[in-house]
Amino acid sequence: MKKESSRMVLHKLYWLAFVCALVLAPLGACNSGSSNQAPKPRTEFERDLILVKHGGFAHIYVFARQDGQSMQADDKSFLKAHAPDDVNSTWVLTDSERRVIVGTNVDFTPENMNALVKRFAVEDYTGK
């Protein structure tokens, strides 16, 4: 009789676990680590940076005016005048024209980078 009663108890435990799983699964109890929230939408800058990162460039820099204002024509000309000699580079004006993302396979010369750092806030995203 002990075998039958232990089998019956075991059967009831399995049945209880099955019923609990059916009840709790729709409530998300089984997926407590995951979230059903939609991912946060990316900003224009984040989207553009991802595109440049996937471009296979050896160096990625972001330039912005130190006052945070939009890039003006003379700012863009200054950037281009101090650019590396790379015909395969890409330049993306982003963040409501407040930043320029540069992807290049040829790094800036120290002289050109020093001139740019004096005029702009420079972020190096190489390898990040």
CATH number of the domain residue 94 falls in: 3.30.70
36 part of a folded domain: no
Residues 26, 52: one domain? no
Query: pLDDT at position 127, please?
Result: 87
38 part of a folded domain: no
Per the structure, the complete domain to which residue 99 belongs is given by 44-124
Residues 62, 24: one domain? no
Neighbours of 71 (CB within 10 A): 21
66 part of a folded domain: yes
Residues 67, 97: one domain? yes
Query: pLDDT at position 85, please?
Result: 85
Please report, as a single letter, which amino acid is at residue 36.
Answer: N
Residues 24, 71: one domain? no
Residues 62, 107: one domain? yes
Query: pLDDT at position 11, please?
Result: 52
Distance of CA 20 to the CA centre of its chain: 39
**Sites in the chain below the pLDDT cut of 50:** 1-2
Residues 14, 75: one domain? no
% of the chain surpassing 70 pLDDT: 72
Residue-wise pLDDT tens digits, 12-34: 555 556 555 655 655 555 555 55
Total domain count, the chain:
2
